[in-house]
Amino acid sequence: MHSDFINHLGAHLAEHQLLTDPADCRSYGYDNSTLQGQPLAVALPESHQQVVAVVKVCREHGVSLITRGQATGTTGATVPVDKHSLVMSMQRMDRILEVNRDDRFMVVQPGVTNQAVQDAAAEHGFFWPPDPTSASVCTIGGNLAYNSAGPRAVKYGTPRENTLALTAVTGSGETLHTGVKTTKGVVGYDLTRLLIGSEGTLAVITEATLKLTPLQPAKRTLRATYRDVHSAACAVSNIMAQPVVPCTLEFMDGNAIDMVRNEAPADLPEKAGALLMIEIDGIEFQLDELVSRIVAAASVEGALEIQRARSQQEVKALWETRKALSPALRRVAPKKINEDVVVPVSRMPELVNQLALLSKKHAVQIVNFGHAGNGNLHVNLLYDPGVANQRENTEACLSDVFAAVLKMEGTISGEHGIGLVKRDWVGKELDTTSLKLMHGIKKQFDPDGILNPGKTLPALD
């Protein structure tokens, strides 16, 4: 059966587009989580027509199809769950097809990197707002699959707000065109937003029309430090309740500061228990006034210091603390659990207080940072799997974290997606009616269930 399947694929793909050696395939069986799978083969299509052909061959042979970009995701969404799976890498579909300055859009293939899109847009005075930390390597297809955003989402939104149209292939091999190339359009259901964030379970995206935003001519960078996380969280709520919306509002707690204090050369107050990185963009002559309003909102009780960068060198210095954190976390706890929960901004103080209590309750060190302006925190649970009971304690702590977030009317994932890692928690957030409808939608797009099976949605009872 496998040989027939491979031969059938080979009729549509050139020799260099189909990998069957187990050693070659293994490198396509994992993502940035701790999970690993072994695909039966790997397809590397270079056109929409080849994607259609691959989907149809998989459907005919009953083979699961997992689509991936550069696999920078952290939830196992691109990891094969069995050895009877084909991984389809979109890395060779990496062309920018059109940049339309007058109508402010760009048409791209899914394998192009986020950075390549930003560079091409900047040549015309624009940018695409989604800016994940992995922008230099992550692909637009992956950004769309996870609805991955980044710091700029606080002001400019996520891929769902910045994508006009898609071309995709359903699980039955049919070509689907969604959306329009205008910023207004209400004909039919919004299938564009439905496909974005669906993690390859409904269709394979082969082309995207991205909405571009004009680059602002100037920017100011601030770093505010606070006595404790509660003060910083109150400052976030205060900032987001006034008219000036920052283009970046990033948060680090005291544990994160302590972790990088000896690595980042920037001076920090000795008693700093939390930190906010704030950026404001706009027209040059407006910025001093905008900054003064942000500073006033950030100057809550417990504020220790608010620094303003006066040069690009000072901007770099202020950001060094934040940029040193991720490498430090990977070095200290390579097996850490990194979750990206979200709560309403007004409940940020409550969330950070609850995380401190859970850290003590379970004897698990928790390091928090993230996109505070959206209420989106990356909650890092540090543990050593070699130490007895630490994994069990950490998993119990994570369960309590998710329960607390849902009690605060939040969500268990803001931009990392669901994949395998969070799938079994989805039923805690969504009601039965919603889950039934979602399974029905999945069946409509993918009647034989070949597209990324076992991901995103838990099974119905």
Residue 31 half-sphere exposure toward CB, CA atoms < 13 A: 26
Torsional class of 168: left (φ above 0), alpha (ψ -120 to 50), beta (otherwise): beta
Half-sphere exposure of 136 (CA within 13 A, CB side): 0
* pLDDT given at position 266: 59
418 in the same domain as 437: no
Range(s) of the domain holding residue 171: 96-214
| Residues with Cβ within 8 Å of residue 87, at least 6 apart in sequence | 25, 28, 29, 39, 41, 42, 43, 66, 67, 68, 78, 80
The list of the chain residues with pLDDT below 50 reads none
| Predicted pLDDT at 336 | 84
* 339 and 402 in a common domain: yes
What local confidence, expressed as pLDDT, does residue 1 receive? 56
Rounded CA separation 338/34 (Å) = 11
Same domain, 26 and 78: yes
pLDDT tens digit sequence for 437-453: 999 999 999 999 999 99
Q: Each residue of 197-207: pLDDT tens digit?
A: 999 999 999 99
Cα torsion 340, 343, 345, 351: sign: negative
**Total domain count, the chain:** 5
What pLDDT, on a 0 to 100 scale, did the predictor assign at position 303? 97
Whether residues 105 and 183 fall in one domain:
yes
Q: Concatenated DSSP letters for 177-200?
A: EEE-SSS---SS--HHHHHTTSTT
Pick from 367, 410, 366, 372: nearest CA to 234: 372
Q: Do 37 and 58 fall within a single domain?
A: yes
Question: Given its phi and psi angles, is residue 376 left (phi above 0), alpha (psi -120 to 50 degrees) or beta?
Answer: beta
Could you tell me if 19 and 63 are in contact, meaning their C-beta atoms sit under 8 angstroms apart?
Answer: no
CATH of the domain at 116: 3.30.465.10
Q: Are residues 279 and 333 in the same domain?
A: no
Residue 188 sits in the same domain as residue 136: yes
Where does a domain end: 89, 120, 146?
Answer: 89
3-state secondary structure of 56: helix
| Residue in 251, 271, 204, 231 with CA at minimum distance from that of residue 51 | 204
Question: Does one domain contain both 288 and 388?
Answer: no
Same domain for 30 and 111, yes or no, is: no
Q: Do 40 and 73 fall within a single domain?
A: yes
Q: Are residues 110 and 148 in the same domain?
A: yes
Domain boundary among the residues 65, 89, 113 is at 89
Both 280 and 244 in one domain: the answer is yes
**pTM metric for this prediction:** 0.94
pLDDT of amino acid 356: 92
Which CATH number goes with the domain that contains 32? Answer: 3.30.43.10
CATH of the domain at 275: 3.30.70.2190
Residue 139 near residue 69, CB atoms below 8 Å: yes
Please say which residue of 283, 299, 323 terminates a domain. Answer: 323
